[in-house]
């Protein structure tokens, strides 16, 4: 994998319990508590993107905490799917999809 061809997306980017200083990259109103690598994979898959999963990796800023894991999203697939896109916009799309997944999971449990 040539890292220049991929955007690295860590689960901690979407964790509402983390501050921006500890790695969260999306606003707290679209972040979720303790996202899992499986939820991240499902969100990225739902968006129709090509990716590789690295579930046992530790975020460099939080190397002392358990493995968060990351997904490497192929830039070319994101550009093909969404046109002109940058990493920040992609993170917001993934965050909204994670919220939708979390809400549908909560509704399924309550029914």
If one compares 2 and 8, the residue with the highest pLDDT of the two is 8
What is the rounded distance in angstroms from the CA atom of residue 34 to the CA atom of residue 46?
Answer: 20
3-class secondary-structure state, position 59? coil
pLDDT tens column, 44-102 = 999 999 999 998 887 777 666 766 789 999 999 999 999 999 999 999 999 999 999 99
Give me the architecture of the 6-109 domain, per CATH: 2-Layer Sandwich (3.30)
Helix (H/G/I), strand (E/B), else coil: 44: helix
Q: What is the pLDDT of residue 1?
A: 66
* pLDDT for the residue numbered 63: 65
15 has pLDDT over 70 = yes
Q: Tell which residue, 51, 75, 54, 50, has the closest CA to residue 11.
A: 54
Residue that has been written with the tokens 């190397």 in this structure: 63
Measured distance CA(26)–CA(12) in Å, rounded: 10
Give the pLDDT of residue 94.
Answer: 98
19 vs 67, which has greater pLDDT?
A: 19
Please provide the DSSP assignment of 4-18 as one string: GGEEEEEGGGGBTTS
**pLDDT at residue 11, rounded to an integer:** 93
Q: How confident is the model at residue 38 (pLDDT cuts 50, 70, 90)?
A: very high
How far apart (Å, rounded) are the C-alpha atoms in residues 73 and 3?
10
What are residue 24's phi and psi, to 5 degrees?
Answer: -65, 135
């Amino acid at each position: 994998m040539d890292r220049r061809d991929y955007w690295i997306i860590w689960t901690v980017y979407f964790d509402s319990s983390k501050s921006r200083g500890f790695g969260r990259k999306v606003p707290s109103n679209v972040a979720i508590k303790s996202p899992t690598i499986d939820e991240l994979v499902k969100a990225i898959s739902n968006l129709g993107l090509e990716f590789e999963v690295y579930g046992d990796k530790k975020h460099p800023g939080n190397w002392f905490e358990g493995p968060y894991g990351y997904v490497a999203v192929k830039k070319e697939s994101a550009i093909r799917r969404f046109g002109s896109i940058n990493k920040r916009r992609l993170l917001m799309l993934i965050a909204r999809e994670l919220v939708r997944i979390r809400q549908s999971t909560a509704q399924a449990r309550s029914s």
